[in-house]
Amino acid sequence: MYVAVKGGEAAIANAHALLADRRRGDRTVPALRLDQIVEQLGLAVDRTMGEGSLYDKELAALALLQARGDLIEAIFLVRAYRTTLPRFGYSSPVDTGAMLIERRISATFKDLPGGQMLGPTFDYTHRLLDPGIVTGDVAAPLLREADAEPAPRVTDLLGRQGLMEPDGETDPEREVGDLTREPLDFPLDRDLRLQALARGDEGFLLALGYSTQRGYGRSHPFVGEIRIGEVEVEFDVPELGFAVSLGRIRVTECQMVNQFKGSAKVPPQFTRGYGLVFGQAERKAMAMSLVDRALRAREFGEDIVAPAQDEEFVISHSDNVQATGFVEHLKLPHYVDFQAELDLIRRMRAEHEASEMKEAAE
């Protein structure tokens, strides 16, 4: 008798016990602590926070451990927790211009107010496997006093000369869009689109951003600026009548500067692609800003010819928790529907055979 997918309860419990065993692995090897994951696998923690859209390093580390290092599974765990949290309100917009900067680079200007700072980057490392890091002995980095000189955003510098499109004004009374509270309704406003991209899968956005560079929706991008550091999160408390600080979070911001030839209404000027992600996530922020710019095609009256410019296509498929769920649901039993198809195929084959026999006889 066929029992492979049936008779579930005991099988499920046993499978999960085995999963717990495999997760722990060899018991003679010390178990990982959450602080070790937070400190030493920080970029995995950052990605889990970003795409999980919940800024909590310890929970992200727990999710990573529980997911055996599977990032999408960890992101899923964080999301399923986040969704149960009560919503008090929305923070004031963070001011990335006032960021405590650890890394800041611009590809458009050799030097600029506030200077360029490489920060903790893989750039210019030689990708040679280094057994030396296993011992864990690392010299303390050289630190210097922070510059008193402010580091205004490159887009603001360009904006002052009118070369950059303005950032756009929104009605201060308008409530910010939130796709976790309201169903998506295409076409989207840019705030919702940016939220979807910030939560979107890094690999998917990377590939789409890459496709725009290879001619599928070309946007002539320059990295105006990438900055990584801490920003203050403030929350307006209606009872107090002013904003209070909730603390600092680390974010990565990328502003792409793109050519725009202008139109009948608008003079030639540079346009923006924007990326903002929790933690240190430079690749994601860059990909996001490329895709953001590509998705603004409609706004600028550009021809929509490439996948990266197609809002419904991009946003409907960028969420890896949705994507992995639906792809993996194919392993659930489908034998009722398959039976229906089997029946149809058999009938059609029988008819086909009968007509061939008839033809042969004639």
Cα within 13 Å of Cα(247), Cβ side: 4
- Choices 82-90, 123-131, 206-214, 282-290; region in contact with other proteins by CB under 8 A: 82-90
Report in angstroms how near the CB of residue 72 gets to other proteins at its nearest. Answer: 10
User: Of 147, 236, 299, 341, which lies in the binding site for other proteins, with binding defined by CB under 8 A?
Assistant: 341
Q: Does 125 bind other proteins (CB under 8 A)?
A: no
- Choices 91-99, 248-256, 293-301, 339-347; region in contact with other proteins by CB under 8 A: 339-347
- CA separation for the pair 255, 250 (Å, rounded): 17
Backbone angles phi, psi at 208, to 5 degrees: -70, -45
- CA separation for the pair 68, 334 (Å, rounded): 29
Report in angstroms how near the CB of residue 137 gets to other proteins at its nearest. Answer: 30
The encoded tokens of residue 220 equal 């002539």
Per-residue string for binding with other proteins, 34-53, x by CB under 8 A? x-------------------
Residues in CB range of 300: below 8 A, 6 or more apart = 260, 263, 271
- Choices 98-106, 284-292, 295-303, 344-352; region in contact with other proteins by CB under 8 A: 344-352
Report in angstroms how near the CB of residue 218 gets to other proteins at its nearest. Answer: 24
Q: Does 27 bind other proteins (CB under 8 A)?
A: no
The encoded tokens of residue 221 equal 């991008």
For 73, other C-beta atoms within 10 Å of its C-beta total: 17
Q: Does 333 bind other proteins (CB under 8 A)?
A: yes
Per-residue string for binding with other proteins, 177-206, x by CB under 8 A? ---xxxxxxxx-------------------
Q: Does 359 bind other proteins (CB under 8 A)?
A: no
Tell me which DSSP letter residue 206 carries.
H
Report in angstroms how near the CB of residue 9 gets to other proteins at its nearest. Answer: 5
Tell me which DSSP letter residue 254 carries.
E
Position 17, amino acid: A
Position 202, amino acid: E
Radius of gyration over alpha carbons of the chain, in Å? Answer: 26
| Cα–Cα nearest to 352, from 97, 146, 297, 344 | 344
DSSP-based three-state secondary structure for 256: strand
- Choices 122-130, 157-165, 284-292, 318-326; region in contact with other proteins by CB under 8 A: 318-326
Residues interacting with other proteins, by CB under 8 A?
1-2, 5-9, 11-12, 34, 56, 58-59, 76, 79-84, 86, 180-187, 312, 316, 321-322, 324-329, 332-337, 339-344, 348, 351
